[in-house]
Structure 1
Amino acid sequence: MSTEANYAGPRRLPRIPPPPPYRPTTGPAASEEPAPDSGPVPPVPPRPAVPPKPSRPAPPGYRDTASFHLAHAEAAWQRTKGAKPPAMKAAQKPAAAETSPQDRSAERAPLPPERDAVAPLGQPGATPPRRPAVRKAVAAACLVLGLGLIGGAAAGSWLAGGPGPGEATAATFGETRGLWHSLPVNTLFPRTLHGTAAGPGGADRTWKRIAVAPDTGCADAFDPLLAKALAPAGCKRLLRADYVDATHSSVITVGVVTTRADAAGMSALDKRFTTERLDSRRDLMPRPYTAPGTLAAGFGPEQRASWSIQVLPDAPLVIYAVSGFADGREVASPEPASEATRTGATSAPAQSGLGHDAAGVADRIEHAFRTEAAKAGEEAE
């Protein structure tokens, strides 16, 4: 039999019945048999709403929930412990009605100052202001400060070498002339001189005194032309001393000439040296002091390498210094300190620092004389 003859068409699946209606598993309705098909299920009536729980009225005197619960918690604590907890004491606040608007405004107002409180004049307990007394004190302080600044400026200007007020110069000019015999030698020529940034390249220098010459006149102390140039000022006394540097490689003679000239004569002499540049001429060099038994024993005219001459226009003084090598070597081309201390100088006095030695020692001896002269002028006044 063929396959086409036996084919009866597609099979149809059996119909699936709908699920049975919901049946509770517990309760009275669980034993009942379901209704065969009684039609649509009636809707379940809504559950009646639960009436709200009547609220307990707050006791009189409390208007907010936080105060109400705080009071009940405090009462419970007192019943159990017999005392109020510290935290509740701090949390409790006074009622708003206890503080009046006037009291609150008074609390916000700034406190009056505790010091220098002055009541208005004309009221009881008023005290007059003390401004006139304060003004007088301030004026006196300004006057004292002004006088101190003027005096300090005058003294500083004179110590620095600049011309000060006429009264200060007149008071110190005459006193300076007698310093050579009234002060100890250690004051005029200190045993040690310190020169901060006084060496080549800004290096510090230190010089030790090795000899002091007896005070003498100016004969044989200068080359002939220098003696002739200084002759108009006169020579009352000459003081000299020898110093060596910290390495004992250079020796320096420093001298102080006390002149007989007045202020006009010293000013004219300073002007001539500056205008004609007499302090830079090799034929106007000071001579060294040869101290036997020291490193300056071989320091003669042929060993001079550099020198410095300073004519003070406001004091009867001429201060000079001349330097050389401590080993006694001769210097063929001496050079003034003003040139040997220039930046980039390549001469032997410049590279060895002999120009800085002459200028540095002369500057510090000048400062020592000016300091003592200023003190003598103050004592004379």
Structure 2
Amino acid sequence: MFFPRPASYDDSTTRLRPIGARIRPRVAVAAACAVLGLGLIGGAATGSWLTGDSPGIGAPSAYTTAGTLWHSAPVDQLFPPVIKGTGAGPGGADRTWTRIAVAPDSTCENAFDPLLHRALRQAGCLRLLRATYTDATRSHVTTVGLLFTKADADAMNALRTRFTEDGLDRRTDLMPRPYAAKGTVAEGFGDAQRASWSIAVLTDAPVVAYAVSGFADGRKVTDPQPAAEAMKSTSVTAPAQAGLGYEAQGVADRIERRLRATVARATEEPS
């Protein structure tokens, strides 16, 4: 016996339509709607990520941004040609420092004395930037450095605690090395000429900022003194009497401020 194909009724026309012919278009329409809906949702999420409407998704933190500045920020932004030091000298005197040399960015190999290199090793060395400045009289020279580390915020906090609690930032065997650029007044600024220094382990950026100062005439210094000590009114060492503690601290502070200002500009929301 032969049985005819089943059919269903359309109430509006009472015309017979095969079931398969009716279901297949509906399935196709439903699938198209689902794809379109997912596309709209995905597009909205992508647009929100690109425009920054959804905080915390795809937006780099200030700490992360700071770690990229060694290759993304112009040299003049980190190490300006001239630094104004209003009230940065002894007795609140104004200071001006002029950049005389910028070292090529480098690794940390041979950049620090062995003990300082060992103390900083736990943070890792991503890149080192350095520049050397002289004062208005060209009698003092100061090298300032920004060591970009590989450490996260917790590791930088631990390193800072170690430096401050163990007094590593005040030990004469942990002084930073200068950058003695040939053909400048800092050409004779070597390890033996280091007079005063400052080291700051930052915790809001993966950076160690430092500065070391000395005499431009290349004289050797037998009694180097950390900047914090050399700036005391009771200090009678040669670096203190010459104001070299103010030179190191003044330059280091202002380069550190510029670093933070650069980070702030790089992470601020677009208007």
Q: TM-score range by the shorter chain?
A: 0.7 to 0.9
Greater RCO (Cα-Cα under 8 Å, separation 6 or more): 2
> Is 1:202 paired with 2:202?
no
Aligned residue runs from structure 1 range 34-183, under 5 A: 171-183=61-73
Percent identity over the alignment?
Answer: 61
- SS of the equivalent of 2:133 reads strand
Cα deviation for residue 171 of structure 1 reads: 1.8
1:102-149 per-residue CA deviation (whole Å, 9 max, x = no partner) reads xxxxxxxxxxxxxxxxxxxxxxxxxxxxxxxxxxxxxxxxxxxxxxxx
Q: Give SS of 1:318's match.
A: strand
TM-score (norm 2): 0.77
Higher strand share: 2
**Stretches of structure 2 lacking an aligned partner (at least 5 in a row):** 1-59
> How far 1:380 sits from its partner (Å)?
8.5
Give, in whole Å, the separation in 2 of the partners of 1:262 and 1:290: 32
Q: Which runs of 5+ in 1 are unaligned?
A: 1-169
Give the SS at the match of 1:328.
Answer: coil
Q: Are 1:266 and 2:156 an aligned pair?
A: yes
The amino acid of 2:155's aligned partner reads: G
Q: Name the structure 2 match of 1:157.
A: none
5 Å-filtered alignment, 1:182-221, equals 182-221=72-111
Report whether the alignment pairs 1:288 with 2:181: no
Aligned-partner SS, 2:87: coil
Task: Quote how far apart the aligned CAs of 1:207 are.
Answer: 0.3
Matched position secondary structure for 1:194: strand
Select the structure of larger CA radius of gyration.
Answer: 1
> How far apart, in 1, do the equivalents of 2:117 and 2:268 lie?
34
Counterpart of 1:375 in 2: which secondary structure?
helix
- Provide the aligned length of Structure 1 versus Structure 2: 212
Change in CA separation of 1:334 and 1:380 when aligned onto 2, cut-off 3 Å: farther
Q: Which amino acid aligns with 2:206?
A: P
1:345 to partner: Cα distance: 1.6
Cα distance in 1 for residues equivalent to 2:110 and 2:251: 22
The amino acid that maps onto 2:190 is: G
- Deviation by residue 1:15-41 (Cα, 9 ceiling, x = unmatched): xxxxxxxxxxxxxxxxxxxxxxxxxxx
Over 3 Å counting, the alpha-carbon distance change for 1:343 and 1:373 in structure 2 is same
Spell out structure 1 runs of 4+ moving beyond 3 A.
none
In 2, Cα distance between equivalents of 1:330 and 1:180:
32
- 1:354 is the counterpart of 2:228: no
Alignment root-mean-square deviation, CA: 1.3
1:363 match: secondary structure? helix
Distance 1:348 1:331 in 2: 8
Question: What's the CA shift string for 1:201-236, capped at 9, x where partnerless?
Answer: 111111000000000001111111100000000000
Measure, in 2, the Cα distance between the counterparts of 1:269 and 1:344: 30
